[in-house]
Structure 1
Amino acid sequence: MDFPPRRTALKEATADAHAALDSLVGSFRTLDDYKCYLAGIAAFRMPVEAWLSEAELPLDLKGYEPHRVHAELEADLYDLNTRPPTDQPAFTPPEGNGIVGLLYVLEGSALGARLLAKRAEALGLSADFGARHLFSQARNFSSWRALTEHMENVRVYDNRAAARWANTAFDYARSAFESALNAERSIRRPHQL
């Protein structure tokens, strides 16, 4: 299947960063694994969505609204008595006109959410308890389609800037998951005097 040129360029430019993040997310097999995943995704999504709520989207994206899962994440964290790591810095995008790259990463996560929602369901989680954000993303494939259609029509578009923003988003997500994993390891590791 041939993808539109901008989507193809972003996919190629972010392949390594995307693979690094995917290997870190892994496949949660236990509820503790899932809680670690939840802490990591919250540490990534919540600051990025907060930043995005203040950002101005290009006029060519009129009619498109990014899918946000902040409220669902807060409810999931509450359900499972979990908190995101506190050492994640605020999200700061790179220079340039590349916000489409950031949106590409956020909306593209809906593709993986379908598989992750099934894994969460196998742990007894659902769209009503503990995995709301995943089910919200998995059900809302229309935002991904809307973005990929709109992004090809953005008149002022810089391929390199979009790739920088997308890679920055993947790196920020990887940092969030690493922080969550480190926090989990420190809890599990016996304290030595």
Structure 2
Amino acid sequence: MNAIVGQPVGDIPRLEEIRQSTRSAHQSVDNMVMAMAPFDNRANYARFLGLQYIFHARMKPLYDAKDLNATIPGLAKRSRFDAVCRDMDDLETEHPKDRSRLAVPQVGAERIGWLYVCEGSSLGAAFLLKAAANIGLNDGFGARHLAGHADGRGKHWREFVEQLNGLTLDDDEEAAVRKGAVDGFAFFRNLVSSSQPA
């Protein structure tokens, strides 16, 4: 993978291709999360936070990967795993065990698709942060991982989009990125499903 700023994919930017190929998967995850009613009470939120902990723990090695940081400068600083851990400490919530059998890839272009899923969730967290206020949580207590970047949520996302669209990939890598994004949503959907009360 090489970085060339502004490199398009076919007639549309890479991000738009990923968005189109994951639209239904993304909507499915959104619907499942909201069905959990995570902001109705702190018990529901704690369950939601547990899912976030597992997901971001699995994503942390991707954010720390040297080759990805060389391709996407500043990637390591984007991880929200530490913020999730602090949220759990705020609420005195135990760290859940990761029982998922779905693996997060540690090499290859699929990782870019997984990063798209994770970074996109940060953009959409603005609505969730507002909802968290209903149960007394904010970006300084209990909902730190939902906070926007100091430079602005939109600016931070646009920088990632430019980096993602700027990657030069061959056809196999393009397909791997799309597959990674689909798998990323499937992983989180599986977490939600497995967390449902018996």
Q: TM-score, normalised by structure 2?
A: 0.79
Greater shift in the superposed pair: 43-52 or 161-170: 43-52
Q: How does 1:109-148 map to 2 (within 5 A)?
A: 109-136=121-148, 139-148=152-161
What is the aligned counterpart of 1:42 among 45, 53, 60?
53
Structure-1 separation of matches of 2:101 and 2:92: 22
Q: Determine helix, strand or coil for the equivalent of 2:96.
A: coil
Deviations 1:71-118 (A, max 9, x none): 111111112122343123474228752332122111111221000000
For the Cα contact (< 8 Å) 1:38–1:77, is it kept in 2? yes
CA shift at 1:60, angstroms? Answer: 4.4
1:156 aligns with 2:169: yes
Structure-2 separation of matches of 1:156 and 1:20: 28
What is the aligned counterpart of 1:22 among 30, 33, 50?
30
Query: One-letter code of the match for 1:65?
Result: L
1:56 aligns with 2:67: yes
Change in 2 beyond 3 A, CA 1:46/1:60: closer
Equivalence for 1:166: 181
Structure-1 separation of matches of 2:139 and 2:94: 19
Deviations 1:104-148 (A, max 9, x none): 111111221000000111210011211111114695443321111
Greater shift in the superposed pair: 155-164 or 72-81: 155-164
Could you tell me which runs of 5 or more consecutive residues in structure 2 were left unpaired when the two chains were aligned. Answer: 1-10
Structure-2 separation of matches of 1:175 and 1:83: 20
Structure-1 separation of matches of 2:29 and 2:13: 24
Q: Determine helix, strand or coil for the equivalent of 1:81.
A: coil
1:76 aligns with 2:87: yes
**What percentage of aligned pairs have identical amino acids?**
27
Structure-2 separation of matches of 1:22 and 1:170: 10
CA shift at 1:152, angstroms? Answer: 1.8
Equivalence for 1:98: 110
* CA RMSD in angstroms, aligned pairs only: 2.6
Q: Determine helix, strand or coil for the equivalent of 1:147.
A: helix
For the Cα contact (< 8 Å) 1:64–1:147, is it kept in 2? no
Structure-1 separation of matches of 2:190 and 2:95: 12
For the Cα contact (< 8 Å) 2:60–2:81, is it kept in 1? yes
